[in-house]
Structure 1
Amino acid sequence: MCFENLKLFSYSSCSTCRRAIKWLKTNDITFELIDLLQSPPSKEMLISAFELYGDRKFLLNTSGIIYRSIGSDVVKKMTDNELLEQLIMEPRLIKRPFLYKSSKCLLVGFKEENWAEKLL
């Protein structure tokens, strides 16, 4: 269970982020709220997410305008390093919310049952 020193990378107009924030507050879980666009997750955090999830597709906001404008074929042809650089340059490509404590304790996207299992 990971519970302390949580950093929540969020985007203010993201309804999923707002649901995650509400869930965290309802469950009395303390977190630092970070604007994803102002301060995206570091390259090291993203690498940890790649390694933990085992597939980079879980880190991508595939329903967003930026992803659609780049195109899935282009993204698939990117090396992992190229994709990491793209995620840092254009953080709206990152699936959100992005909740980080350590390389072994992070969550991407909001599914209440996954968050409850990891945080409660």
Structure 2
Amino acid sequence: EPTPGAAVATIIGNSSVAAAIGGSGNANQAAISAGTQANVAATSNAWHAINGLLSGNSNCALNIDGTDSSGLTCGFNTFPGTPIRIMRGNGTQLVGSITETGLLAVSSSSTDRGNIRLNQKAYYNTP
């Protein structure tokens, strides 16, 4: 989770349409947004396995280190035909490292997000 900034510091998404997962504007929180930002606890400046679901129907979920927060309200924005950005925050590149990122064009359950996190943990030894 990157050092907090003024808005969602996008790890993956498209900040121009406010559909993104990344660091929050608040310390010790990660964020997910599709027009409405929802925050979940995540220690700042530490490695995390972060998996999220942006559904396009206002319901979203964010899994931090195996703890799933589903039923969040995130807005209705979806990704347009413009490129998805990785590690961009407020128009500038985030400082730091990222081991893996991915974007799946499917819905996911809490179990799915947990299993992805277990794969990340096994391969990268993330939390």
TM-score scaled to structure 1, two decimals? Answer: 0.24
TM-score scaled to structure 2, two decimals? Answer: 0.23
More strand by share: 2
More helix by share: 1
Query: Larger relative CO (CA 8 A, sep 6+): 1 or 2?
Result: 1
